[in-house]
Amino acid sequence: MFLRELTHPVTDLKGIGRRAAESYSRMGITTFFNLAVHLPRTYEDRSRRRPFAEGHDGSQVVTVAAVTAHQRVRFKGGYALKVVMQDESGTAALLCFGRNFLQNTLRIGEKFYLCGQGKFQYGELQISSFETAPWHEDADPPPEFSRIIPFYPLSGSLTQKMVRRHVAALMRSSLKHLQNELPQSIMEASSLMPIAEALKEVHFPSSLDEAEQARRSLAYTELFYLHLVIRRRALKRREVHRKPVQYPGTLMNRVIDSLPFELTEGQKRSISEILHDLGQERPMARLLQGDVGSGKTLTALAAASVVIEAGRQAAFMVPTELLARQHAEEAAKILEPHGVRLALLHGGLPRRERNLLLDSLASGQIDLLIGTHALFSNDVEFTDLGLVIIDEQHRFGVMQRISIGEKGTYPDMLYMTATPIPRTLTMTIFGDLDISTIDTMPPGRKPVITHLASQKSRERVYKAVMAEFNRGRQAYFVYPRIEQGEQSGLKDARGMHEYLSQKIFPGVPAGLIHSQVPQEEKEQTMDAFKRGSIVYLAATSVIEVGVHVENATCMVIEHAERFGLSALHQLRGRVGRGKDQAYAFLIYSDDLTDQGKRRLKIMKETTDGFRIAEEDLNIRGPGDIAGTRQAGFIQFSFADLVRDIQLLKETLQAVLRILTDDPGLLKNEHSVLREVLEKAPPFKEELIDQ
Ligand code: ADP
Ligand code: MG
């Protein structure tokens, strides 16, 4: 069986009851598989004996010592127990603050395994953070005092000891059933550990080198299959020979001529690259990247008009309904005057209307269909789907991205992203796509001025925003949560909506937007905001994607450090879309870490989305083991796109070699990679907006 097939619920493991299971599920761990890939965040090497004498400089001691005396030290107006211990190198004092009960366990004359860390002060080694276990002459030392031990991310009632015990139980019950995911020949050629060994080493390593080797082996497998799936698709597409279509492009020229502005150089270049692809024998698979506001939508609509003129259909898929409606409006403005028939398909459509729409689509009376992923439900049939446009493509899973192209007879595919993808990754993960880049902004746009502000100077931010209101401008206020939850201390959209409208901007019309606001109300609010009858929005990051209101000049983001850089960049892109100078105010918490400061500084320094994306990857860098496995658009269990760039290249080479030498060798990629490929990556807004 493959690792991902370990789908038993964690409660099947000995020792995991209701409470532990609930704590696990808060970290997204519900199955054996989830627990198996719950990697330690760090390890501690307790395999070597380190007596008291080695601990004077503050380093860890791991020893066996006897209790020689109990004393008392002053503590919080009372006394705390002080246990004096001796090992072969000297003595140490355990300060048991708040743990006086230890006098019953750490009895004078008895010997204990001890692990801890302290300071040499007042003439003795004082240790206040320690673990102990009774020492027995004939028994082996417990693992906590004799091995390299893992430290896991925890939640709820879980302790390190419990997680270690549960993982160990899992290893005992499941490792023997696990089957290697790569053929022997590849494992040998790349010196990979068998999966059972790798899992054991990654959780309970025999050395730190082995632990890294183990993780590398597991990551190798993951990246290997990712490449394999993507490259197979690319090959398959290359085998397709369609009848080339002759596209006249006169409609497109008319559309472009009727625009109130000139296309930018980047748009012109991208359009001609797309035109070149359309109607080739081989279907197009092109990624159009360009910063927020660079005019990708228009570029895509121009491409659509070419296909439509030839009597074919185009589909435009976006991640949210809000965005679908906005795109439909823009498309209507640009294309309808030229006779293009377009329709908007969304989840809220009454059955009758939906059926009507689907009938018209199937009989070819709709040229352009705009909507969310509902566009690709089974009952949606096109007469002749020629072009599929996918906006904000990073919001869809790799498998979704790949399988959508299977609708129709290999339509041309245009993927768009405003999250510029670091170059290192485009070469690899998006290696099956051709790339067009819009690197020019429409003229007259002024870069957004970004201010960083501490919580304390929030009032000044409000003043600056008020000044903009007085000039007739509008603003967004973004918060990490919808409402006050357990984890308080975070400002929330609902609470701040109330606070702002009562205390700060009384009399200024305000709206509230987050994922739980009913669709209809959301639309009304957005409409009112667009018309200007609502002056500011209090929102969560659901407004992140693509929303376009030219008169909005202020973006205030509270707890800015809680958002990824790419998300901040997207949010900031909501303003500065008109001719007026726009401002972003990033308000950070008082306890901001150094790394957090560095991140926010980058937002102030640059508006270059590519640089921000690279920095986003770099800064998160190889810190702890578990921290960087999610690179925003794809979630791995073991691989880490920062650390594993080299591995990413190596696995790609291996895959390309196999696809030419022995393409039939690998068959089980789906069972191995199921989750990575099929689940859309969690939307950032869903992670935060809760
Ligand atoms: P994005 O690349 O973020 O999707 P949009 O396509 O939403 O950007 O474009 C932002 C705005 O810029 C739209 O209102 C669009 O009409 C306008 N726009 C697009 N191209 C140009 C251009 N060449 N000159 C001026 N405005 C443009
Ligand atoms: Mg867009």
Based on the domain organization, do 575 and 535 belong to the same domain? yes
Residues 360-410 have pLDDT tens digits of 999 999 999 999 877 877 788 899 999 999 987 766 666 566 666 665 567
Based on the domain organization, do 590 and 499 belong to the same domain? yes
For residues 126 and 73, what is the distance between their CA atoms, to the nearest angstrom?
12
Based on the domain organization, do 508 and 403 belong to the same domain? no
The segment with the largest mean pLDDT, out of 275-289, 357-371, 563-577, is 357-371
Based on the domain organization, do 495 and 543 belong to the same domain? yes
Q: What is the pLDDT of residue 635?
A: 63
pLDDT at 686 over 60: no
* Ligand 1 atom at minimal distance to the Cα of residue 444: 25
For residues 17 and 587, what is the distance between their CA atoms, to the nearest angstrom?
42
Q: H-type helices in 139-207, by residue range?
A: 160-174, 184-189, 195-203
Residue 43 lies in a domain: no
Based on the domain organization, do 413 and 459 belong to the same domain? no
Residue 497 lies in a domain: yes
Ligand 2 centroid to residue 432 C-alpha, Å: 22
Q: Which residue has a Cα nearest atom 10 of ligand 1?
A: 293
Q: Is 442 in the pocket of ligand 1 (CB under 6 A)?
A: yes
The answer to whether 222 touches 636, Cβ cutoff 8 Å, is yes
Based on the domain organization, do 403 and 269 belong to the same domain? yes
Q: What is the pLDDT of residue 174?
A: 93
For residues 230 and 227, what is the distance between their CA atoms, to the nearest angstrom?
5
Among 553, 575, 606, the domain-final residue is 606
The answer to whether 642 touches 622, Cβ cutoff 8 Å, is yes
Q: Is 295 in the pocket of ligand 1 (CB under 6 A)?
A: yes
Based on the domain organization, do 403 and 530 belong to the same domain? no
What's the total number of domains in the chain?
Answer: 3
Among 123, 146, 169, the domain-final residue is 146
The amino acid occupying position 58 is: G
The answer to whether 90 touches 106, Cβ cutoff 8 Å, is no
Q: What is the pLDDT of residue 400?
A: 61
Based on the domain organization, do 361 and 255 belong to the same domain? yes
pLDDT at 685 over 60: no
Ligand 1 centroid to residue 297 C-alpha, Å: 7
Which residues have their alpha-adjacent CB atom under 5 A from ion ligand 2? 546
Q: Tell me the CATH number at 59.
A: 2.40.50.140
Q: Which residue has a Cα nearest atom 1 of ligand 1?
A: 293
Q: Is 261 in the pocket of ligand 1 (CB under 6 A)?
A: yes
The amino acid occupying position 393 is: Q
Q: Which two tokens stand for residue 138?
A: 């004939």
pLDDT at 465 over 50: yes
User: What does pLDDT average to over the chain?
Assistant: 86
Classified as helix, coil or strand, 617 is helix
Residue 67 lies in a domain: yes
Q: How far is CA 513 from the centre of its chain?
A: 22
For residues 294 and 150, what is the distance between their CA atoms, to the nearest angstrom?
47
Residue 12 lies in a domain: no
Ligand 1 centroid to residue 255 C-alpha, Å: 15
The amino acid occupying position 489 is: G
For residues 495 and 507, what is the distance between their CA atoms, to the nearest angstrom?
17
Based on the domain organization, do 391 and 500 belong to the same domain? no
Residue 338 lies in a domain: yes
Return the beta strands (E) in 320-430 as ranges: 342-345, 368-371, 385-390, 412-417
Please give the model's pTM, rounded to 2 decimal places: 0.71
Burial 231-247 (b: 16+ CB within 10 A, else e): bbbeeebeeeeeeeeeb
The answer to whether 632 touches 684, Cβ cutoff 8 Å, is yes
The DSSP call for residue 625 is S
Based on the domain organization, do 401 and 464 belong to the same domain? no
Domain around 367: 250-281+295-417
Among 585, 606, 627, the domain-final residue is 606
Q: Is 74 left (phi over 0), alpha (psi -120 to 50) or beta?
A: beta
Based on the domain organization, do 462 and 320 belong to the same domain? no
Q: Which residue has a Cα nearest atom 9 of ligand 1?
A: 295
- Ligand whose nearest atom lies closest to the CA of 545: 2
Residue 52 lies in a domain: yes
Q: Which residue has a Cα nearest atom 18 of ligand 1?
A: 295
For residues 509 and 475, what is the distance between their CA atoms, to the nearest angstrom?
11
* Ligand 1 atom at minimal distance to the Cα of residue 264: 23
Q: Tell me the CATH number at 589.
A: 3.40.50.300
Based on the domain organization, do 457 and 562 belong to the same domain? yes
- Give DSSP secondary structure letters for 503-535: IISTTS-EEEE-TTS-HHHHHHHHHHHHHTSS-
Residue 412 lies in a domain: yes
Residue 182 lies in a domain: no
pLDDT at 677 over 50: no
